[in-house]
Amino acid sequence: MDIILIIIAALFMLFGVIGSFLPILPGPITSWIGLLVLHFTDAIPIDKSFLIITFAIAIFIWLLDYIIPAIGTKRFGGTKYGMIGTTIGLIVGLIAPIPGGIIIGPFIGALIGELINKSDTRTATKAAFGSFIGFLTSTFIKFIVAVIYFGLYIGILWDYREALF
């Protein structure tokens, strides 16, 4: 049963890293669920305070994920249309077989969103840039936390490898 839980935890870890880039999956929270699943194995004791601290960090990063792009957009004069455009652009950029679509998509989406909001081209470009910078910052932070959680997972498995195998 422990091996099955370890595999499930590994899947959550991988989905957490992937979720750092997708707006649908909360990356760090998904990775934290992997740590939680690992806690339920008999061979690996994980301290509850460790789980509480990592959960608090995951929730904090999840909240920042909503605040950082908004700050970037507002700081550069953007509107809600730019933020919505960024999200749509990201999804299209992920689906479209364009090299660099994950980077170009959010910028183009924010630009189109601001132009729909009747902004002039200069203001729309500036707001799209702000939205894009906010998106990149938020994504980078989520990715770093998800990778750290994945590293913790691997470290915990390494420490208890003799009890598992």
Chain centroid offset of residue 165 CA: 32
> For residues 132 and 82, is the Cβ–Cβ distance under 8 A?
no
- Which DSSP category does 100 fall into? T
Q: What digits encode the pLDDT tens for the residues 38-95?
A: 999 988 888 999 999 999 999 999 888 878 877 777 788 778 888 788 788 878 887 8
Q: What digits encode the pLDDT tens for the residues 87-122?
A: 888 788 878 777 777 778 888 888 898 889 877 888
The whole-model pTM stands at 0.79
* Structural domain total, the chain: 1
> For residues 83 and 54, is the Cβ–Cβ distance under 8 A?
no
Residue 108's domain comprises 2-164
Q: What type of residue sits at position 37? A: V
